[in-house]
Structure 1
Amino acid sequence: MDTKKTVIVTGFQPFGEHKVNASWSAVQELEKLGLGEDINLLVKEIPVEYKAVSKLLPSLWKQYQPELVVHVGVSGMATSVTLEQCGHNYGYTRLDNCHFCPNSQCCINEGPDCIMSVIDMDSVCEKVNSSSQGVAFSVSKDAGRYLCDYTYYTSLYLGNRRCAFVHVPPLGKRHSAEDLGRALQAVVLEMLQSMEDQMDQDQDHCQDEH
């Protein structure tokens, strides 16, 4: 019986000015590095299409029952690797690669306005910034109301908040794909540790109450 935890990390296909999407390049580098022998790492490239995201994400969560899903996207404005704390349900008016956007302009009908990740991104950011990765990390609470935010919110909703989103800068702006792959490895491992620590705290609290 396989007792390894499964972690899914996704990047996006090219869109707009991003003829090579740095998110997928970084995820491919992460795949080469892996997350250690105790983790089954699965990587997926996601189309920049609302309908494709809405169809793909439920199947990923159901089929693989992952411990954690980390979505990675590119931001032309980013100068650091940015950890997104939350996803938003409303405000999707930008057309995707198929020139489509949802009529409802939202991810999940009647879902909450905002969903926070179970992971404390400020804590994760502080730890990876102090670990000499050679890459700067920051935290954001606005993933941009496009496919990144749409994907993040949908996955947070489906996965009971066991999800994270990371924005990376375009390739060559400051870092290579290899740099970003190493940064992703560090941050995903720290996220997993954060989740484990939280579980331990919850168990201790439960025992204290009994």
Structure 2
Amino acid sequence: MHQRVLITGFEPFGGEAVNPSAQVLAQLAPWRPAGDASLVVQLLPCVFGQAIAVLEQALRREQPQLVIALGQAASRDEVTVERVAINIDDARIPDNAGAQPIDLPVVPGGPAAYFSSLPIKAIVVALQQAGIPASVSQTAGTFVCNHVFYGLAHALATRHTGVRGGFIHLPCLPQQTAALGPRPGMPLVTMVQAVQIAVQVSLRTSVDLRTGGGTID
């Protein structure tokens, strides 16, 4: 059965000139997963509310069976596969439209949280086996990344049932680390490979691995 895959990323934010998730989208656009699958990409604005609206338009237009949303996590030096999205917006900095919601729900009346429906541990194991630093993350933050992750999960639970989806955070690019001081970084080619692996693992894995991926702090 043909499967359509939607990958999303974000425009730059916080005064930066690039966002690795947008760079990965550009590289992935011509790529075709193995087997009977096709891939489409969608760039999202780093704006509360508007990002979910653009995502919803893409879901309706593309009718994917699998959705992987990407974002930048500047403080991380691994590809981190997110486990849970929480129903809160609590912005430390303004978004690209100048909005800075504090302690507001992503979806009023929605559940407190949603778990990813991606095979998160199988993805992490596959990335590690490919030599790519990766781990399960227990928090997607409270900025627009978590906003989109929760909005995606809510849409899949209520309007696009049967579709699987989740969120993956990427480190900064090397040029960002050079411009902004000592920060973790990862080459673009490695991040592209990581997302390709995540897509292939997600397409072929219906039941996730039962292996340790938690933390003690």
TM bucket, shorter chain: 0.7 to 0.9
CA distance in 2, matches of 1:118, 1:75: 21
1:28 touches 1:181 (CA, 8 Å); kept in 2?
no
CA distance in 1, matches of 2:142, 2:102: 14
Show CA shifts across 1:88-132 (max 9, x none): 1114234211111447712111101110012231232123312x2
2:8 touches 2:69 (CA, 8 Å); kept in 1?
yes
What corresponds to 2:97 in structure 1?
98
2:131 maps to 1:129: no
2:44 touches 2:55 (CA, 8 Å); kept in 1?
no
Q: Judging changes above 3 Å, is the alpha-carbon distance between structure 1 residues 44 and 68 closer, same or farther for their aligned structure 2 residues? A: same
With 39-48 and 16-25 compared, the bigger mean Cα shift is at 16-25
Corresponding residue to 1:188 among 188, 193, 199: 199
Taking structure 1 as the reference length, the TM-score comes to 0.84
CA distance in 1, matches of 2:170, 2:120: 15
What corresponds to 1:111 in structure 2?
110
2:90 touches 2:102 (CA, 8 Å); kept in 1?
no
CA distance in 2, matches of 1:165, 1:179: 18
CA apart distance, 1:27: 2.1
Which is helix-richer, 1 or 2? 1
CA apart distance, 1:37: 5.0
CA distance in 2, matches of 1:82, 1:103: 25
What corresponds to 2:73 in structure 1?
75
2:145 maps to 1:143: no
For 1:175, the aligned partner's letter is M
CA apart distance, 1:65: 1.9
Corresponding residue to 2:83 among 74, 82, 85: 85
CA distance in 1, matches of 2:142, 2:114: 14
What corresponds to 1:120 in structure 2?
119
CA distance in 1, matches of 2:24, 2:196: 10
With 34-43 and 109-118 compared, the bigger mean Cα shift is at 34-43
What corresponds to 2:188 in structure 1?
177
What RMSD, in angstroms, separates the aligned Cα atoms of the two structures?
2.0
For 2:104, the aligned partner's letter is Q
CA distance in 2, matches of 1:185, 1:5: 15
What corresponds to 1:61 in structure 2?
59
2:3 touches 2:36 (CA, 8 Å); kept in 1?
yes
CA distance in 1, matches of 2:60, 2:101: 24
| 5+ long unaligned stretches in structure 2 | 158-162, 175-183, 209-217
For 2:196, the aligned partner's letter is Q
With 110-119 and 24-33 compared, the bigger mean Cα shift is at 24-33
Number of aligned residue pairs: give it: 193
1:124 touches 1:194 (CA, 8 Å); kept in 2?
no
Show CA shifts across 1:159-206 (max 9, x none): 1372111111111144221221111101121122223x57xxxxxxxx
Show CA shifts across 1:77-98 (max 9, x none): 1100010011111142342111
2:106 touches 2:150 (CA, 8 Å); kept in 1?
yes
Q: Percent of aligned pairs with the same residue?
A: 25
What corresponds to 2:167 in structure 1?
165
| 5+ long unaligned stretches in structure 1 | 199-210
